[in-house]
């Protein structure tokens, strides 16, 4: 049961005077235990922190996994035929960079042309095997 205090039109309010209110025992404030509320809030905050940290770890691994650099593979002998070698394409490799790796000094245009003839003129992707004619 509730009671509402409302001004009556028959009793005019004098000035700014409002009726005094008093606290009735047995309300919601008496039923809550401040220590239990504190413990519950700390538990919820701790669980939220664990969930957020787990999400950050999983998310960062998922986002950073494609950026991991694989080991750069050098020439492997015996891939296509006798006297031929092969190179596994690393991220960022081109026919020019592979030719420069195979032949560190001098002109590499003829070697690039040989690589294109042996492997096709299409683009190369990381993980592809490029045959180096011997």
Q: Which of 134, 132, 93 is CA-nearest to residue 116?
A: 132
Of 8-12, 71-75, 91-95, the poorest mean pLDDT is in 71-75
3-state SS class at 115: helix
Q: Note the pLDDT tens digit of each residue in 13-60.
A: 566 666 666 666 666 655 677 888 889 999 999 999 999 999 998 888
Going from the N-terminus, what domains does the chain have, and what CATH number goes with each?
76-132 (3.10.350)
- In degrees, rounded to 5, the angle at the alpha carbon of residue 109 between the alpha carbons of residues 105 and 115 is 105
Structure token digits, residue 77: 């002998």
Here the tokens at position 26 are 């047995």
- Residues 62-85, mean pLDDT to the nearest whole number: 58
Nearest C-alpha neighbor of 131 from the set 88, 92, 90, 94 = 88
């Amino acid at each position: 049961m509730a009671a509402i205090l409302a001004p009556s039109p028959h009793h005019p309010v004098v000035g700014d005077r409002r009726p005094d209110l008093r606290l009735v025992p047995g309300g919601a404030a008496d039923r809550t235990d401040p220590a239990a509320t504190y413990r519950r809030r700390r538990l919820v905050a701790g669980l939220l922190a664990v969930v957020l940290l787990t999400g950050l770890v999983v998310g960062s691994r998922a986002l950073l996994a494609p950026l991991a650099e694989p080991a750069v593979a050098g020439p492997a002998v015996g891939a296509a035929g006798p006297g031929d070698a092969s190179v596994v394409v690393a991220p960022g490799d081109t026919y020019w960079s592979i030719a420069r790796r195979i032949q560190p000094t001098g002109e590499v245009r003829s070697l690039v042309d040989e690589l294109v003839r042996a492997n096709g003129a299409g683009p190369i992707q990381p993980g592809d095997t490029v045959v180096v004619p011997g």
